[in-house]
Amino acid sequence: MKKMLLITIAAMFLFTTLITLTTAGASEDRIISAKIISIDKRVSKKGNTYVKMIIEEKKVLQGTSYMAEMPVLAFGVRKYKKALTMKPGDTLNAVVKASEYKGSMSYVIRAYLETVVRKRK
């Protein structure tokens, strides 16, 4: 009986540790400010509409900097409507959730950030 209890406790500990390790770095929030390359309206498999934007983001790999294209998704009515007002060439300022799917990074918009442009006198 004691042996079975110890095995059960060890299995639960292992399971909890694995879940914690796999979800800890799975996604994080970031602030981005990037040029929009393209904007497309899409429909999900469930029939919900969303917007997929492609942005240019500066990356550095082994000391070499380059511009990479990243997908940004806008789900939900408010985020969808705001995304439709943007056009290629605009700058996207937003808080996004970074996530990885099959080895590729993408962003999901959590909130838009309004930038204040002050005119010089």
Q: Is residue 5 a part of any domain in this protein? A: no
Residue 59 is part of a domain; what is its CATH number?
A: 2.40.50.140
Please give the share of the chain, as a percent, with pLDDT higher than 90.
61
Other beta carbons within 10 angstroms of residue 84's beta carbon come to 13
Residues 8-18 pLDDT 10s? 665 565 655 55
Q: Is residue 78 a part of any domain in this protein? A: yes
Q: What is the reported pLDDT for 18? A: 52
Q: Is residue 62 a part of any domain in this protein? A: yes
**Residue ranges making up the domain that contains 73:** 27-112
Q: Is residue 13 a part of any domain in this protein? A: no
Residues 38-50 pLDDT 10s? 999 999 999 999 9
Q: What is the mean pLDDT of residues 24-48?
A: 86
| Among the listed residues 71, 69, 62, 65, the one whose alpha carbon sits nearest the alpha carbon of residue 101 | 71
* Alpha-carbon 82 to chain mean position: 17
Q: Is residue 40 a part of any domain in this protein? A: yes
Q: What is the reported pLDDT for 22? A: 46
The structural domain count of the chain equals: 1
Q: Is residue 12 a part of any domain in this protein? A: no
Q: Is residue 3 a part of any domain in this protein? A: no
Q: Identify which has the larger pLDDT, 22 or 78.
A: 78
pLDDT at residue 3 greater than cutoff 50: yes
Q: Is residue 22 a part of any domain in this protein? A: no
Q: What is the reported pLDDT for 17? A: 55
Other beta carbons within 10 angstroms of residue 70's beta carbon come to 19
